[in-house]
A and B are shown apart, each in its own frame.
Chain A
Amino acid sequence: MGDNMSELLNVKNLKTYFFTKYGTVKAVDGVSFKVDKGETFGIVGESGCGKSITALSIMRLVPDPPGRIVGGEIVLEGEDILKISDNEMRKVRGKKISMILQDPMTSLNPVFTIGIQLEEAIKIHQGLKGRSLRERAIELLEMVQISSAAVRYKNWPHQLSGGMRQRVIGAISVSSEPRLLIADEPTTALDATIQVQFLRLLRELQEKTGVGLVFITHDFGIIARMCQRAAVMYAGRIVETGSVRDLFDNPSHPYTAALMRSLPKLEEKVERLASIEGQPPPLNDDIQGCRFAERCTVAEHQCRLSYPDETEISDGHFVSCWKF
């Protein structure tokens, strides 16, 4: 884990709850992780474990109501962005932190050309106008390898393929050279070959701009390919964090270990991670102990009583489990 100079993002004990008529849904319940400058940090976990809500919390875009960030800190380049005003936060969005959403088919506004949508982002943060604005937009389209960018610039989203749309969104996201880019399952909706292309593009963009990348996925193959470090999430909490090497060679939390065993083969995509018995608990249950205890083969009495603290079992390798 880097020193303060290289630290880009530090999420401390983040809690985001949804207050619904069925009770309080603790979608994110005490999540902590750090991302260094220029690093790619993965977050992996089953559907519904709180990955997207973690990402939206960092953007401060959790739908409110019913959701609210109820605790924790999100420190970006030394500043807790949970403390700044809404207007200041708006200036952080797109400029310092940006995000790519899962579905390229719905992430672009159907009634505006991609040029307009790209220029909008540039205009807000860089104040470019007229010709230079347009030139910058076309340059960005070229950067994400859109061929005949000057023509494409005038296209509406529906005239582009899914892969192209996701690249346009990539261009929008990096248009103001943000420090942090969150990619929330950006390739899940794409075909396999387009996926590989897009991942390569993301890596190139990262090399060019030095942006720190938080990569959310449920695909361990992508984690292995893209990330230096990663966190495994389960039912609103991070159960294990470490270098990708740590996670693959020495998975220490019983959940991570079970996931690794259930992986058919590295690099192979798995739709649902869990071939583990049982299901994650509903997030509106008030569980005192470890959330995985019900499905864990080595759980003891202690595990159901209280939640284990995070233990550093080797340099930069953290596990939340009573076994350690």
Chain B
Amino acid sequence: MQRYIVIRFIQTVITLLILSIVIFTLVRMSGDPVLLMLPETATEEDYELMKSQLGLNKPVYQQYLIFLFDAVKGDFGKSIRTRKPVILSIKETLPNSIKLVTVAFVIGFALSIPLGIVAAVKKGTVWDNMARVVTGLGQSIPTFWVGLMLLQIFVVWLRILPASGMDTWQHYVMPATCLGIFLMSGVARLLRSSMLDVLDSEFVKMARIKGVRESVVIWKHALRNSLLSVVSFGGMYIAIMVTGAILVETVFAWPGFGRLAYAAIVNQDFPLIQGVVLTAGAVVMSANFFTDILYAYLDPRIRVQV
């Protein structure tokens, strides 16, 4: 297990390094930042001066190394627009997003576990079909549209929920539901199919042979095993959440990381883009890392070596 953790950790670091190279290259290919930052009236000398100030006249590999070491120290430079250190913006917004995503996760799993179980246990019945329709809609309707509909219903018509901000629990209801629905659909479908596999397995048959109650067969013997495959996709849910958060936070004006990312891209604010993408990458990678360890912990076949 320890060996496993070390190996996975090294893999994570390598992946992050590759990500940093890709971002570094892409940002430099997507346009000249100096031109973006300079006023129209700037002269050739202004251009050269700024270039050397930003370190852009050094060889590319040096530029990358500087960028990398700064990034490790948490220094992503300053926003071109606001001149505010990128790391400060990230520190302000990331916790807000984590709060939102946590609530969304709770909502998503609270909905998807019963839904997935019912769909599998009642396979082929009207329950299964209803679950299929619900999860199908959840996956195919764009998140921002769900958000706009919620706004229309609860803010414009019923006037019972606040439209934006994050001060009270009421503020969480709509954005978290919005994100949660998207998560729910994927998880419920995954759970349904792995549950069907497990319910068909010999050890479930064996449990029934022992005279185990059907509810115990489902909640103890089958669910525990089916959740393993759900957990193994944990990193992917975080990735989905990051993309989802960009949309949802923009719709509900949530002062989070997703909205920061949106602003960075719209403004072509390249230090901010670099910081945001690298942070998002680090978040997703560490989520992957921790779900793998959680998975290994939950599955004795990995945790306890033969």
Nearest chain-B residue to A103 (Cβ)? B202
A172 in contact with B225 (CB, 8 Å): no
Closest CB in chain B relative to A153 CB, distance in Å: 14
Residue B212 lies at the interface, judged by CB distance under 8 Å to chain A: yes
Chain B residues with Cβ below 8 Å from A93 are: 208-211
Stretch among A107-115, A195-203, A226-234 lining the B interface: A107-115
A71-96 vs B, Cβ < 8 Å mask (1 yes, 0 no) = 00000000000000000001111110
CA distance A321 to B200 in the complex (A): 38
Q: Is B206 an interface position by the 8 A CB rule? A: yes
Q: In the assembly, what is the distance between CA of A111 and CA of B302, in Å? A: 11
* Central interface residue in B124, B206, B221, by most chain A CB within 10 Å: B206
Interface residues of A in 97-127 (CB under 8 A from B): 98-99, 101, 103, 106-113, 120-121, 124-125
List chain B residues, Cβ under 8 A from A91: 211
- Cβ of B203 within 8 Å of any chain A Cβ, yes or no, is yes
B contact residues around A173 at 8 Å (CB): 209
**A-binding segment of B20-28, B32-40, B293-301:** B293-301
- Minimum CB–CB distance from A4 to chain B (whole Å) comes to 27
Which residues of chain A have C-beta atoms less than 8 A from B213's C-beta? 90
Q: Which residues of A contact B301 (CB under 8 A)?
A: 110, 156, 158
* Cα–Cα distance between A107 and B306 once the two chains are bound (Å): 18
Given A109-B225, A156-B304, A158-B301, A59 and B203 contact (CB-CB distance below 8 Å): no
Which residue in A124, A158, A159 is a CB contact (below 8 Å) of B212?
Answer: A124
How large, as a class, is the contact surface on chain B?
A: 20 to 34
What is the interface size of chain A, counting residues whose CB is below 8 A from a CB of the partner?
32
Report the minimum CB–CB distance from B296 to chain A (whole Å): 12
Report whether B211 and A111 are in contact in the complex, using a CB–CB cutoff of 8 Å.
no
- CB within 8 A of A111: which of B210, B214, B299? B299
Task: Tell me the bound Cα distance from A93 to B209 in angstroms.
Answer: 6
Contact of B210 among A63, A121, A156 (CB under 8 A): A121
Which single residue of chain A is at the shortest CB-CB distance from B209? Answer: A99
Are A98 and B203 in contact, with the CB atoms below 8 A?
no
Nearest residue (CB) in A for B224 is A111
Q: Are A111 and B298 in contact (CB under 8 A)?
A: yes
Q: Which of B201, B202, B208, B211 contacts A95 (CB 8 A)?
A: B211
Taken together as a complex, chains A and B put the C-alpha atoms of A107 and B212 apart, in Å, by: 14
| Contact residues in B for A98 (Cβ distance below 8 Å) | 209-210
Q: Using CB atoms, name the residue of chain A closest to B206.
A: A107
Distance of A48 Cα from B304 Cα, bound (Å): 38
Contacts of B243-280 to chain A: CB distance below 8 A? none
Contact B211 A101 (CB under 8 A): no
The answer to whether B225 and A111 have CB atoms under 8 Å apart is: yes
Q: Which of B208, B210, B221, B299 has the most CB of A within 10 A?
A: B210
Q: Are the CB atoms of B206 and A169 closer together than 8 Å?
A: yes
User: Is A61 touching B209 in the complex (CB atoms < 8 A)?
Assistant: yes
Is B118 part of the contact surface with A, judged by Cβ < 8 Å?
no
Asked if A65 lies at the interface with its beta carbon under 8 angstroms from chain B, I say: yes
Of all chain B residues, which has the CB nearest A98? B209
**Known interface pairs A103-B202, A169-B206; A110-B300 also in contact (CB < 8 Å):** yes
The interface residues of chain A lying within 8 Å CB-to-CB of B173 are none
Q: Which residues of B contact A61 (CB under 8 A)?
A: 205, 208-209
B211 touches A172 (CB 8 A): no
| A110-B206 in contact (CB<8A) | no
Q: How far is the CA of A114 from the CA of B228 in the complex (A)?
A: 19
Check B206 against A159 for contact (C-beta < 8 Å).
Answer: no
In the bound complex, CA of A121 to CA of B208 (Å): 10
CA distance A208 to B298 in the complex (A): 39
Residue of A nearest to B306 (CB): A159
Query: A101: which B residues are within 8 A, CB to CB?
Result: 202, 205-206, 209
Q: How far is the CB of B166 from chain A (nearest CB, A)?
A: 39
Are A106 and B202 in contact (CB-based, < 8 A)? yes
Bound form: Cα–Cα A59–B208 in Å: 9
Contact check, B298 vs A59: say whether CB atoms are below 8 A apart.
no
Complex interface: chain A residues within 8 A of B300 (CB): 110-111, 113, 156, 158
A94 touches which one: B124, B203, B211, B298 (CB < 8 A)? B211
> How near does chain A come to B123, taking the closest CB pair, in angstroms?
8
Which residues of B are found within 8 Å of A65, using beta-carbon distances?
124
Complex Cα distance, B212 from A90, in Å, reads: 7
Q: How far is the CA of A59 from the CA of B201 in the complex (A)?
A: 16
**Bound Cα distance A306, B299 (Å):** 56
In the bound complex, CA of A158 to CA of B300 (Å): 8
Q: A117–B225 Cα gap in the complex (Å)?
A: 15
Contact check, A106 vs B306: say whether CB atoms are below 8 A apart. no
Q: Are A110 and B203 touching (Cβ within 8 A)?
A: yes
Q: Which residues of the other chain, A, contact B299 by a CB distance below 8 angstroms?
A: 110-111
- Give the docked Cα–Cα distance between A93 and B208 (Å): 8
Whether B282 sits at the interface, judged by CB under 8 Å, is no
CA of A63 to CA of B124 in the docked complex: distance in angstroms? 14
Measured between alpha carbons, how far is A98 from B212 in the docked complex, in Å? 12
**A181 to B242 CA separation, bound complex (whole angstroms):** 55
In the complex, which residue of chain A has the Cβ closest to the Cβ of B123? A65
Decide if B207 is an interface residue (CB 8 Å cutoff): yes
- Using an 8 Å CB-CB cutoff, how does the interface string of B67-103 with A read, 1 for contact, 0 for none? 0000000000000000000000000000000000000
Do A94 and B304 have beta carbons less than 8 Å apart?
no
Chain B residues whose CB sits within 8 angstroms of the CB of A94 once the complex forms: 209-212
Inter-chain contacts of B225 with A (CB < 8 A) = 109-111
Q: Are A120 and B201 in contact (CB under 8 A)?
A: no
- Seen from chain A, the residues whose Cβ lies within 8 Å of a Cβ on chain B are 59, 61, 63, 65, 90-95, 98-99, 101, 103, 106-113, 120-121, 124-125, 156, 158-159, 169, 172-173
What residues make up the interface of B, taking CB atoms closer than 8 Å to A? 124, 200-203, 205-214, 221, 224-225, 228, 298-301, 304, 306
> Can you name 7 A-B pairs with beta carbons within 8 Å?
A59-B209, A61-B208, A94-B210, A99-B209, A107-B203, A120-B210, A124-B211
